[in-house]
A and B are shown apart, each in its own frame.
Chain A
């Protein structure tokens, strides 16, 4: 079955710690994205990647970092510099950046900072 997976589903961390969220897809998609969703808010773009070894900042990149060493994987690190990291994080992929750019979403990771 083709799809996009995220792990873990729930994650707790102490203030001041870095944490890495996993995102893997086997859809052979070139483009991948990370979004943050807060209650009552839409999806806000953190980072996106069009191709391996390339990624671009989104609207709220401060306090986050990513890597794209493999086509299938796009991990997101939430650093201690992110002032308000508690949120629902969604990873998505699409064939490429183009018209009819339907995105496929992973199940999400809910991060809670204690």
Chain B
């Protein structure tokens, strides 16, 4: 089976940097996704990591360490519109993604 753990809620200030962690245990590993989901809306794709290291995409970066079963999503220059849930999803040996419970990020002025 798979177990994915991420913090339930985080708060941060507009303009700051926030790091959202995700730890996982999985049988077979074919990559890790981060999705953003605003309340009542569909999740949208942010990033995919399958090799160790950092992937940067504008204000968002995602890091993966396969040996540690660990990933983080880094959000820079936070904006109010970044208030959302961030979902970590692991692609296991079956190629079916398993989602964590999501981290609700609240950005305040």
Asked if B101 is at the interface of the complex by the 8 Å CB criterion, the answer is: yes
Given contacts A40-B8, A99-B50, A102-B33, contact A107 B41 (CB under 8 A): yes
Asked if B13 is at the interface of the complex by the 8 Å CB criterion, the answer is: no
Number of interface residues of B (CB under 8 A): 25
Q: In the complex, what residues of A have CB within 8 A of residue B41's CB? A: 107-108
Instruction: Tell me the complex Cα distance, A35–B37, Å.
Output: 14
Instruction: Tell me the complex Cα distance, A42–B98, Å.
Output: 9
Instruction: Tell me the complex Cα distance, A104–B44, Å.
Output: 7
Asked if A113 is at the interface of the complex by the 8 Å CB criterion, the answer is: no
B95 touches A98 (CB 8 A): yes
B31 touches A48 (CB 8 A): no
A42 touches B87 (CB 8 A): yes
The listed residue (B4, B42, B89, B94) touching A107 by CB distance below 8 A is B42
Instruction: Tell me the complex Cα distance, A45–B102, Å.
Output: 15
Give me the 5 closest cross-chain CB pairs, A-B, nearest first: A105-B42, A42-B99, A97-B95, A43-B99, A42-B101
